[in-house]
Chains A and B, each alone.
Chain A
Amino acid sequence: MVAIPSRHRSLVLLTGVIVLQLLLLAVQVKRDSQGRLIRVWTVGAVAPFERAGARFFGGIRGVWDHYFALQNASRENERLRHENDTLKLQINQLQSKAAEADRLAALLSFHQGHQSVPMLAARVIGASAAAASQTVYLDRGERDGIRRNMAVITPDGVVGKIVESYRDTAQVLLLTDKDSGVGAMLAESRIQSPVGGVGEPLLAMKYVANDDVVNLGEHVVTSGMDRIFPRDLPVGTVVQIKPGNPFKQIRIQPAAKLERLEEVIVLLSLQPLDLRKESGMPAAEGTGKIPPGQVKMEKP
């Protein structure tokens, strides 16, 4: 056996450790597995601390929001007054549009049309440990009926889907993640195209032809084609359009506040949902927020 000089031992160890991890990577790519066992152990060990941390940091933020932030109350008041005037104008415009009334009616009937769909409110207790991944952890898991590929939403819009479900915790892949995607369509023109994340705050709508007309500010809703999200849930708003080859480069501002998630709703169903079929209504047009009071769910 060849003796390794002591000064080279660490180099040999480095090579061995890297080769082992390369093999681990290769196995995951080849088998399309994610090393579930190791993840279960790690998440199981960290989740209790995250729960405690969620309460602690939530308290800190409460103090900040209700005390320190009041120092800016005067400026905030001025801004809100201006915002109020703008909103009044918007309300007048909204009232004059019959089509948008239909949209609101469709969204108001969301709960009535899906009474058979159990929903579960869950608290966000943790985020991804790596900036390259856009995920969050929930305080509910398999014991509460959460399974992989269930849709996660807020009253504002689509959040993402469950990618891993552990005993008391579940991991949500946010729409902004590079691997994320949702079947979507433009609310007015009904042009369908998947919307996905690019690892940044804005989403991308990928396959809209240059000939198609898309307007800034146009709402994007779910199409239901991915068989995960019900049709006509708000996805976001078009904020950037550039010509591309062969498709337009469209950026979407997510409807849900993905960077400030605290509580979400998990749709406890793996069956594809059809809003029109269940609510007995024609296809809803446009988009908007789901009134929180309209979503019946189990208490967290």
Chain B
Amino acid sequence: MNETYETFDLRVGESHIEVHKFRGGAIVLATVVALFLQTSVPVYFPRFAVLDLPLLVTIYFGLSRRNPSTGLLLGMVIGLLQDSLSGPTVPLGLYGIAKTVVGYLASSIGARLDTEHPVARFALTIVFFAVHQSLITLTRRLLLVQPQVWFNLRLGVAAAVNAIIAVFLFMLLDRLRKN
């Protein structure tokens, strides 16, 4: 793929860090489509609910933009929108906090590691899924005093499925980058 990346003067050690820019409205469009699919598809294909598309979008743009401030703000917005489209079991801020942290971490890691390789993306998605789930469990247990499991087989499968889908979704989203 003949992509040209804008290279900024961010340096960690000896490596150059490439910060990707996207077409106008790409981030907004990807966010809206992710939220729309997340709320619409499970009505007809219930197993689709295992995916967390808003999380994958947060991770992708965090890893690509590599700016912790924009990463965490994007994560916050996506998380709060997801909260507001969920039921009363999900207070505003639950997914907001989790995705804020994921957005921050993804941006920070994206500025230090090569996150373009599919294997790296697969592994990072599993790690971020686990972080996201841990933060939700922590918030529920400590702040909302609600029972919530830390881990079960279903979550393990969900992490793997999300990671596999992420590899292909991220390739698709790569096309939104400016050439």
Contact = CB atoms under 8 A, between A and B. Distances in A.
A124 B158 CA distance: 25
Nearest to A257: B46
A4 interface: no
Specify the main secondary structure of chain A where it touches its partner.
Answer: helix
A33 B81 CA distance: 17
B43 A127 contact: yes
Contacts of B115: none
Interface of A: 9-11, 13-14, 17-18, 21-22, 24-26, 28-29, 34-35, 38-39, 41-43, 46, 49-50, 53-54, 57-58, 60-61, 124-137, 163-164, 171, 173, 177-179, 259-262
B36 interface: yes
A282 to B, nearest CB: 37
B126 to A, nearest CB: 17
Contacts, number: 166
B89 interface: yes
Contacts of B42: 127
A135 B87 contact: yes
Output the residue of B50, B67, B91, B136 with the most chain A CB within 10 A. B91
Interface stretch (B13-21, B22-30, B117-125, B138-146): B138-146
Contact of B39 (A17, A46, A261): A46
Nearest to A137: B39
Contacts of A129: 35, 38-39, 54, 81-83, 85-86
B39 A260 contact: no
A262 B36 CA distance: 17
A35 B80 CA distance: 11
Given A50-B40, A53-B40, A137-B39, A131 B92 contact: no
Contacts of A9: 69
